[in-house]
Structure 1
Amino acid sequence: MPFFSVVIPLYNKENFIAETLNSVLAQTFTDFEVIVVDDVSTDGSISVVEKIKDDRIRIIRHEKNKGLSASRNTGIKNADSEMIAFLDADDLWKEEFLESMAGLSKKYPQASMYASKYEEVYNEVYVEHDFSAQEGLVHDFFINNLNQTIYYPSSLCVKKEAFDVIGHYDESITFAEDLDFNIRAHLAVKMAYANRPLMIYRMASENQITHSGLKNRSITDFDKYEALYPARKDLKKYLDFHRYIMAKHYKLDANTQGYKKMLKGIDLSSLNYKQIVLLYAPAFILRAIKRIKGLLIKNGLNPTSY
């Protein structure tokens, strides 16, 4: 049995998947299998994977397109190891990522999740964020993640047994799928963290869902979690921050009903003044800011309201 099962959901990442897989095969910790879950790609992604010859790689094909959450769930259910490492098909690991995660799992056996800091890359410009989360057990995830997330799915490992407690990814959610999973996970189990950038997140991948709007997509039910945990002030602030994010998306999509629903749930004391201004700003201002931000990102800058 391998120590890690590396789950890679794949959908139309022909230009990225080879480099992603090679970053796995270059790991200093070599006791792993790789499960590539093809979600009915329509480009040459699978042909690229098939050209990489390594007995640790296996491909599972969906018969119909099911989405990112379903692809992750397929990987989890077919994993042979007791530790699942997730990697999106356009992201990269530094060569010591798995070695670091294995070390964390031995040092902090009471944890069920392990993650690392990351770098963002914008057109070959690398950006590392300064997070308050320290090395070791994370005791205040929701507070640490009120702004820039301290990890992405591609820098996360989860004990397979933990899914019995957390549940799998919700396949009905089709935008920011990991948000719902993170809420459930950090309410249920502990996480240990490596405060070193061991993963590279591509901010300009050609078909990232986060670049699109919310039209015809479903999101996390924030009200459900607020009702289940009314005494968790840290969770309330976290939910309100993401309501703010979704409210802006809805306004850009001219979805007045969705915007009002998000706005109704927000306690404005959860936000900073810049966020409050943007929350009430007209859509044309948000569109202008989005265009300007897009131009800055191309030059390696990522201004935020955090």
Structure 2
Amino acid sequence: MKGPEISVCVPAYQAERYLAETLRSVLAQTFRNFELVVLDNASTDRTAEILRGFDDPRLRVVRNSRVLPLAENWNRAVEVSTAPLVKLLCADDVLHPRCLERQYPVLAGDPGVALVASRRDLINEESRLISRNRGLRGLLGPHESQAVIRRIVRHGGNPIGEPAVALFRRAQFDAVGGFDARWFFPMDLALWIRLLEHGDFHGIRESLAAFRVTRGSLSALGDESLYAEQRSLSAEIANGAEWDVSRVDRLMGAAKAPAARLRRQALFLIARGQGRQNDLKGLRSRRSSSSY
């Protein structure tokens, strides 16, 4: 019997709030030949209980005996998968129904492509839309890897996006050593860069996933560290002789980095404001209920 073509890998830690929504979005895919692998990173909340509530033969649950660090955990989520193509999906993000259907033929049909990504929407803590069709400016359609690397340096941030938007080959993931624990906040971007050593890039115009912007996310909590790491990563790839990054590329990246930072800060400020409004609504509702 033919195995799955795609592994959707979900590393889950204390994921009770959004996990069910994330899993439902995967199981609702129009592309059917996939496995959904959830790696429970020794959670102590209701994560395991929620997983037991799903009865689908495509779902496979693995649990760590202890809490693993971020990079090690994400790598193990891929390690326990079985398909030749892989998508890593954080346990609070969601896929749109045609995500796998649209991304699969790009990689399956062209062995010269190492990474395919789509645009994505941004949603808040209540799954309401904050912004639509974000990312991949200047990266839609097919692009040679060197051109993408130069675009990353000039962007000053992450123009490709988070793991939910990307699909890659398991063999190439293994060849580059997976997620690099030297990086924390730009760990996904560092992987995209390494994968591009093995092939080209294709950007899909459609928004095929949604990244959740929350008050407590890693990106919201680590602003200064995030951008310090981003600058270090940009400097590392700019110094790599194989990419032929010009001085102009570096200067453009340095000039654009503050704007990229402000755009991201604005998104988390919006999420924080919406979260506070919902907290107030919940408080008013509880007070109203308690008066009866």
Q: Do both proteins adopt the same fold according to a TM-score greater than 0.5, normalized to the shorter chain?
A: yes
Is residue 279 of structure 2 the alignment partner of residue 275 of structure 1? no
Residues 136 and 35 of structure 1: CA distance in aligned 2, closer, same or farther (over 3 Å): same
Residues 158 and 272 of structure 1: CA distance in aligned 2, closer, same or farther (over 3 Å): same
Inter-partner Cα distance in structure 2 for 1:137 and 1:162: 18
Residues 231 and 141 of structure 1: CA distance in aligned 2, closer, same or farther (over 3 Å): closer
Residue 245 of structure 2 is matched in structure 1 by 233
Tell me, yes or no, if the aligned pair for 1:142 and 1:234 is still in contact at 8 Å.
Answer: no
Residues 6 and 102 of structure 1: CA distance in aligned 2, closer, same or farther (over 3 Å): same
Residue 22 of structure 2 is matched in structure 1 by 20
Tell me, yes or no, if the aligned pair for 2:36 and 2:58 is still in contact at 8 Å.
Answer: yes
Inter-partner Cα distance in structure 1 for 2:46 and 2:246: 44
- Report the alpha carbon displacement of residue 109 of structure 1 after superposing the two structures with TM: 2.8
Inter-partner Cα distance in structure 2 for 1:38 and 1:30: 23
- Report the alpha carbon displacement of residue 227 of structure 1 after superposing the two structures with TM: 4.2
Inter-partner Cα distance in structure 2 for 1:274 and 1:112: 26
- Report the alpha carbon displacement of residue 30 of structure 1 after superposing the two structures with TM: 0.8
Residues 231 and 153 of structure 1: CA distance in aligned 2, closer, same or farther (over 3 Å): closer
After the TM superposition, which residues 180-259 of structure 1 pair with which residues of structure 2 at under 5 Å, given as runs?
180-204=190-214, 207-213=216-222, 219=229, 222=233, 224-229=236-241, 232-233=244-245, 237=249
- DSSP-derived class of the 2:118 partner: strand
State how many pairs are aligned.
260
TM-score (norm 2): 0.76
Tell me, yes or no, if the aligned pair for 1:176 and 1:210 is still in contact at 8 Å.
Answer: no
- Report the alpha carbon displacement of residue 275 of structure 1 after superposing the two structures with TM: 2.9
Inter-partner Cα distance in structure 1 for 2:243 and 2:192: 19
- DSSP-derived class of the 2:113 partner: coil
Residues 148 and 84 of structure 1: CA distance in aligned 2, closer, same or farther (over 3 Å): closer
- Report the alpha carbon displacement of residue 133 of structure 1 after superposing the two structures with TM: 1.7
Q: Structure 2 residue aligned with 1:134, among 128, 132, 140?
A: 140
CA RMSD in angstroms comes to 3.3
Inter-partner Cα distance in structure 2 for 1:162 and 1:51: 34
Residue 281 of structure 2 is matched in structure 1 by none
Residues 230 and 58 of structure 1: CA distance in aligned 2, closer, same or farther (over 3 Å): closer
Moved more, 170-179 or 94-103: 170-179
Residue 49 of structure 1 is matched in structure 2 by 51
Q: Which residue identity is paired with 1:87? A: L
- Report the alpha carbon displacement of residue 61 of structure 1 after superposing the two structures with TM: 1.3
- Report the alpha carbon displacement of residue 272 of structure 1 after superposing the two structures with TM: 2.7
Inter-partner Cα distance in structure 2 for 1:57 and 1:25: 9
Residues 98 and 175 of structure 1: CA distance in aligned 2, closer, same or farther (over 3 Å): same
Post-superposition CA distance 1:116-159 (Å, at most 9, x none): 11111235134123622222345522344415523321111111
Q: Which residue identity is paired with 1:133? A: L
Residues 109 and 187 of structure 1: CA distance in aligned 2, closer, same or farther (over 3 Å): closer
Inter-partner Cα distance in structure 2 for 1:25 and 1:213: 32
Residue 244 of structure 1 is matched in structure 2 by none
- Report the alpha carbon displacement of residue 21 of structure 1 after superposing the two structures with TM: 0.2
Residues 270 and 110 of structure 1: CA distance in aligned 2, closer, same or farther (over 3 Å): closer
Inter-partner Cα distance in structure 1 for 2:213 and 2:112: 33
Residue 253 of structure 1 is matched in structure 2 by none
Is residue 114 of structure 2 the alignment partner of residue 112 of structure 1? yes
Q: Which residue identity is paired with 1:271? A: A
Residues 231 and 31 of structure 1: CA distance in aligned 2, closer, same or farther (over 3 Å): closer
- Report the alpha carbon displacement of residue 38 of structure 1 after superposing the two structures with TM: 1.2
Structure 2: where are the runs of 5+ without partners?
Answer: 275-292
Q: Which residue identity is paired with 1:161? A: A
Moved more, 16-25 or 136-145: 136-145
Residue 129 of structure 2 is matched in structure 1 by 125
- Report the alpha carbon displacement of residue 111 of structure 1 after superposing the two structures with TM: 0.9
Is residue 180 of structure 2 the alignment partner of residue 173 of structure 1? no
TM-score (norm 1): 0.73
Residues 59 and 165 of structure 1: CA distance in aligned 2, closer, same or farther (over 3 Å): same
Inter-partner Cα distance in structure 2 for 1:293 and 1:87: 20
Tell me, yes or no, if the aligned pair for 1:40 and 1:65 is still in contact at 8 Å.
Answer: yes
Inter-partner Cα distance in structure 1 for 2:88 and 2:205: 18
- Report the alpha carbon displacement of residue 9 of structure 1 after superposing the two structures with TM: 0.7
Residues 137 and 227 of structure 1: CA distance in aligned 2, closer, same or farther (over 3 Å): closer
Inter-partner Cα distance in structure 2 for 1:133 and 1:80: 30
Post-superposition CA distance 1:1-56 (Å, at most 9, x none): 10111100111121100000000000000101111011122211121111111111
Tell me, yes or no, if the aligned pair for 1:115 and 1:155 is still in contact at 8 Å.
Answer: yes
Residues 30 and 270 of structure 1: CA distance in aligned 2, closer, same or farther (over 3 Å): closer
Inter-partner Cα distance in structure 2 for 1:155 and 1:101: 9
- DSSP-derived class of the 1:8 partner: strand
- Report the alpha carbon displacement of residue 107 of structure 1 after superposing the two structures with TM: 3.6
